[in-house]
Amino acid sequence: MSLLSVRREGSGSVFVWLHGFTQTRASAHQFRSILAGSHELLTPDLPGHGDSCAFRATLEECADFVAAVMPEGAVDLGGYSFGARVSLHVALRHPQKVRKLILLGATRGIEDETQRLERRRHDESLAERIELLGVEEFLDEWLAQPMFAALPHDPLERAARSRDAAGLADSLRFAGTGTQAWLGPMLGTVTADTLALAGANDQKFAGEARAIANGVPQGSFAFIDSAGHAAHLEQPHATARLVEAFLGA
């Protein structure tokens, strides 16, 4: 039994979707509503977020929490950014649970140990900033980053952001990119058919999508036109079409 809070909507084959950092199971309402038209969509609050804000978990532990949400047998799994990194860990740790894998804005991690340590220091500084400013002011700073410049103004998306400063800070400390092992050599063990997605304008993560697709045995990649990092928020219909086509193939 999972301890994570889970939203269930729609009917059809099961698709588990994992949100990004600062988001919750209520995020991406347009994208979710499209997918819920043909799937039973399960969206948990990941550790440190939403109603799961009290849980402190490493990426590996996040993956185990998510695996406990998933029904018996292999189902489809996808995620965005932080959620994509968790999804990749689920596929590596619980391959029998994942039929098809969709990764939007994912990263293999940081190969260079010195750079990884520097990222951990950066994540710790960011965690301290959340605790200092509080969530609302931090969200203003977070969403003002160039990678989110194309996000549409959507009060529902802002309202769906996680509001627990301690939980978000702990998510960075325990499961931030700086904590992630370099997964490049492990991609060859992923058994699920994998689609790596990125916004066409998100140059760094477009490169990661190509590398992930080339690294897994059954991988492909696609880019969403006129979109940056949060492609499923910027272009929800185009992103959902790619997801549905892959899941239905």
Predicted pLDDT at 2: 65
b/e code 187-196 from CB counts within 10 Å (16+ = b):
beebbbbbbb
Phi-psi region of 6 (alpha: psi -120 to 50; beta: other; left: phi over 0): beta
Predicted pLDDT at 180: 98
Contact between 213 and 219 under an 8 Å Cβ cutoff? The reply is yes
Q: Quick one: DSSP state of residue 145?
A: S
- Measured in Å, how far apart are the chain's first and last C-alpha atoms? 31
pLDDT tens digits, the chain, 249 residues: what are they? 468 999 999 999 999 999 999 999 999 999 999 999 999 999 999 999 999 999 999 999 999 999 999 999 999 999 999 999 999 999 999 999 999 999 999 999 999 999 999 999 999 999 999 999 999 999 999 999 999 999 999 999 999 999 999 999 999 999 999 999 999 999 999 999 999 999 999 999 999 999 999 999 999 999 999 999 999 999 999 999 999 999 997
Candidates 22, 12, 11; CA nearest to 233 is: 22
What residues have CB less than 8 Å from 56, skipping those under 6 apart? Answer: 47, 48, 170, 174
The architecture of the domain spanning 6-248 is 3-Layer(aba) Sandwich (3.40)
Predicted pLDDT at 3: 84
Q: What are the DSSP E strand ranges found in the chain?
A: 6-9, 13-18, 39-44, 75-80, 98-104, 193-199, 219-224
How far apart, in whole angstroms, are the C-alpha atoms of residue 219 and residue 106? Answer: 14
Predicted pLDDT at 249: 76
